[in-house]
């Protein structure tokens, strides 16, 4: 497979599912080993925290992905923070080794390992793994799945269950960022009939929408592609959508903007027409 491949064919994509899920599990195991022994954190140039767990998981993921998808560019959060930002081809991989580092530092189990594959500007495949919860989510071939998987365990086809967004409720449950609240997102959210707020860290907000525990997640502040690509793929395959605040399709692959996306609205089955 070359970096200039326009996409993965169905056979290649199917063969990658088990290895990628297992790779996320291995990265999660590396995080948990560091959590168990204790760790400190440092601040990056953007003042966001980074730990040994972030770097260990990223090393596991980059090594594994380089073997599974040789020649395909890998855009990884901690490497990008050091200035290693490859030019994205039509096909590339996004890696967030520990999404929710602040949750990790606070001792909450909501941090995740994220892998997203982008093809022609769209998320083709996604894996979200919450090692402290033993929860694995992934999307492939138009379907989304969840399984219980302990850190370091291999993919088990017999342990997976399909997931999908729930039918449109009269009142919505919103997934809210625990560590990154912002007034603009809250103002937009207030235009919808939200009865309950589910506060979470990391890409688990996408997972909760995908499995029918929440209905909307609004983020109007800028965010990196690696933060949302896996969740985007999983939510869409579960029957939801992730679009720009104006309702347009998100386009991935912007190295000149440091792989940033200027906000999004993720939703389950409900229509935007329910906004009041």
> To the nearest whole percent, how much of the chain has pLDDT over 90?
72
Quote the domain boundaries for residue 217: 172-274
| pLDDT surpassing 80 at residue 271 | no
Q: C-alpha angle with apex 223: 76 to 51, nearest 5 degrees?
A: 50
The predicted model gives 267-274 an average pLDDT of 71
CA distance 226 to 77: 7
CA distance 88 to 267: 27
* List of E strands, 25-142: 41-43, 49-51, 74-76, 91-99, 112-119, 122-130, 135-140
Q: Is 127 helix (H, G, I), strand (E, B) or coil?
A: strand
Q: What residues pair up with 29 in beta bridges, in sequence order?
A: none
Grade residue 112 by pLDDT with cuts at 50, 70 and 90: very high
Q: Which of 118, 139, 162 is the last residue of a domain?
A: 162
Count how many domains the chain has. 2
Residues 184 and 120 reside in one and the same domain: no
Q: What is the pLDDT of residue 47?
A: 79
Entry pTM: 0.94
Q: Which of 162, 197, 213 is the last residue of a domain?
A: 162
Residues 85 and 130 reside in one and the same domain: yes
Q: What is the pLDDT of residue 272?
A: 58
Helix boundaries (H) for 117-182: none
The predicted model gives 1-17 an average pLDDT of 67
In tens, the pLDDT along 82-106 reads 988 887 778 999 999 999 999 999 9
Q: Which of 134, 162, 190 is the last residue of a domain?
A: 162
Least confident of 65-79, 83-97, 115-129: 83-97
Residues 152 and 179 reside in one and the same domain: no
* List of E strands, 52-193: 74-76, 91-99, 112-119, 122-130, 135-140, 143-148, 160-163, 172-177
- Domain with residue 61: its CATH number is 3.30.540.10
| pLDDT surpassing 70 at residue 123 | yes
The predicted model gives 34-49 an average pLDDT of 87
The reply to whether 15 falls in a domain is yes
Residues 138 and 27 reside in one and the same domain: yes
In tens, the pLDDT along 10-36 reads 678 789 999 999 999 999 999 999 999
CB 203 within 8 Å of CB 230: yes
CA distance 99 to 97: 6
Residues 18 and 133 reside in one and the same domain: yes
């Amino acid at each position: 497979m070359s970096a200039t491949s326009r996409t993965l064919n169905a056979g290649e994509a199917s063969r990658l599912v088990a290895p990628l899920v297992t790779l996320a599990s291995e990265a999660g195991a590396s995080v948990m080993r560091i959590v168990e022994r204790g760790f400190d954190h440092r601040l990056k140039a953007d003042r966001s925290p980074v730990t040994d767990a972030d770097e260990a998981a990223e090393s596991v993921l980059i090594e594994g992905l380089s073997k599974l998808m040789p020649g395909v560019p890998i855009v990884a959060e901690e490497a990008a923070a050091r200035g290693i930002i490859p030019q994205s081809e039509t096909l590339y991989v996004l890696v967030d080794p520990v999404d929710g580092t602040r949750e990790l530092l606070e001792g909450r189990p909501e941090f995740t390992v994220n892998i997203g594959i982008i093809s022609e500007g769209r998320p083709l495949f996604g894996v979200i793994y919450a090692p402290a919860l033993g929860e694995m989510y992934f999307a492939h071939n138009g379907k989304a799945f969840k399984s219980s998987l302990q850190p370091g365990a291999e993919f088990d086809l017999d342990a997976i269950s399909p997931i999908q967004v729930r039918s449109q409720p009269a009142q919505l449950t919103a997934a809210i960022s625990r560590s990154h609240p912002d007034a603009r997102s809250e103002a937009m959210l207030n235009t919808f009939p939200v009865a309950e707020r589910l506060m979470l860290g990391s890409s688990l907000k996408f997972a909760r929408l995908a499995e029918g525990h929440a209905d909307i997640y609004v983020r109007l502040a800028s965010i990196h592609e690696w933060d949302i690509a896996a969740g985007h793929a999983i939510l869409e395959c579960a029957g939801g959508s992730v679009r720009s605040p104006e309702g347009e399709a998100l386009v991935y692959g912007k190295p000149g903007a440091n792989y940033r996306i200027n906000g999004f609205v993720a939703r389950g089955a409900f229509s935007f027409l329910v906004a009041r």
